[in-house]
Amino acid sequence: MSAKHTAAFFRAEGVLVTSGVMQAAMFMAGQRAGMRERALRFGQALASAPVFGLLGQNDRTLGNRVAHLCYRDMSEDRVVVLSEEYVDDVLSEKVLDSGIELMRKAKADGHRVVVLSEGISEIMERMREKWRYVDDLVCNHLEYRGGKATGKLVEPVIGGYEGGKWLTSYAAEHDIDLSRSFAYAGHGPDLLLLSAVGHPCAVNPDFTLRKAAREADWPLMDYKA
């Protein structure tokens, strides 16, 4: 029987880029057509920011649902165009070089490189084109009806505690040996994701994950570039 493969799982937010879904939501809201609509959606995104912050270390699934409400009624074509602008003008400047180097090394070491992101596919697929080392991308998808976003995310929502459950299914599907695999993440809800692999690493961790990583004696990495 052939040996199982190994993988390196990277949470995009905090590990590969400094910006998250709230920054993207505010950018999108600020580009809405019409002053009234722009003010409404930007205000909605701004109001959701503290909610996302409060939920961020405990329930990022709900936080992500709230953050993406400002996309409601945007046409799919408009989301695509603005996503390209956001990546080229904003997100590309927020890339963490140290995180990209971790990906490069994982690829060179023969691991399957998998990136998980709370961002929407329109944004993250464009980032994937810039990252040459990614084998698989798992991210959120906006729900569309009649060519317009509903403000909801398609299930399952990426970013919460479901990471560990998803990882188990992914490993079975791709014949991955999790005991020899790696994971890099920085948020409290990523605990199940990290604990599912043999080589977890907390990167630029928030308070919840930093505390848990120290208790579990996991490696910690802090970098700004």
Rounded to a whole number of angstroms, the CA Rg of the chain reads 17
* Confidence check: pLDDT of 1 > 50: no
CA–CA gap between residue 217 and residue 201 (Å, rounded): 10
Read off the pLDDT of each residue in 138-162 and give the average, rounded to a whole number. 90
96-117 pLDDT, tens per residue? 999 999 999 999 999 999 999 9
The matching CATH number, chosen from 3.40.50.620, 3.40.50.150, 3.40.50.1000, 1.10.287.130, for 7-221 is: 3.40.50.1000
DSSP-derived pairing of the beta strands 7-11 and 182-185: parallel
Instruction: Please state, for a pLDDT cut of 70, what percent of the chain lies above it.
Output: 84
67-100 pLDDT, tens per residue? 888 888 889 999 999 999 999 999 999 999 999 9
Q: Tell me, what amino acid is at 224?
A: K
Read off the pLDDT of each residue in 146-171 and give the average, rounded to a whole number. 86
17-72 pLDDT, tens per residue? 997 888 888 888 776 554 555 455 555 555 555 555 555 555 677 778 878 888 88
Domain chopping of the chain, boundaries: 7-221
